[in-house]
């Protein structure tokens, strides 16, 4: 039961962060930003977590599954891509599809590297 509560609490925080960004940015940039921020945070957490001698599963559930999972917007991102193509804006569709992947990988690697600095 504690595991469920940890994931739910983390997911609520992540979802509220995503909701906040959609209040200050249009949908496409907000979706992009939340996905990249989520990748950076997950990289920071994963890098830190990997260094722990006795990592606590509860921290992983709360932060990685909960906060980062609640903040990530895969389904919204896919809908945005499909709508770009449906509206004939294939160049933007390709950019919206490819840039978050590239930037997400870079953000996660940066986060992991920051967490593992000596």
Express each pLDDT in 58-108 by its tens digit.
999 999 999 999 998 888 889 899 999 999 999 999 999 999 999 999 999
The mean per-residue pLDDT over the stretch 42-47 comes to 93
What is the number of domains present in the chain? 1
Rounded distance, CA 83 to CA 17, Å? 24
**pTM metric for this prediction:** 0.82
Structural domain harbouring 79:
2-115
Share of the chain above pLDDT 90, in %: 88
Q: What pLDDT does 118 receive?
A: 66
Q: Where are the alpha helices (DSSP H) in the chain?
A: 2-24, 27-51, 57-60, 69-71, 74-86, 90-115
Residue 19 CA to its chain's centroid (Å): 13
Residue with tokens 């599963």: 57
3-state class (DSSP) for residue 57: helix
């Amino acid at each position: 039961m504690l595991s469920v509560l940890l994931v739910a609490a983390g997911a609520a925080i992540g979802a509220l962060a995503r909701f906040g960004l959609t209040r200050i940015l249009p949908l496409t940039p907000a979706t992009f930003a939340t996905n990249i921020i989520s990748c950076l945070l997950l990289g920071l957490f994963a890098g830190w977590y990997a260094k722990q001698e006795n990592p606590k599963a509860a921290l992983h559930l709360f932060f990685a599954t909960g906060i980062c999972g609640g903040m990530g917007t895969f389904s919204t991102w896919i809908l945005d891509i499909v709508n770009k193509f449906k509206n004939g804006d294939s160049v933007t569709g390709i950019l919206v599809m490819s840039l978050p992947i590239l930037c997400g990988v870079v953000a996660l690697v940066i986060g992991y590297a920051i967490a593992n600095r000596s």
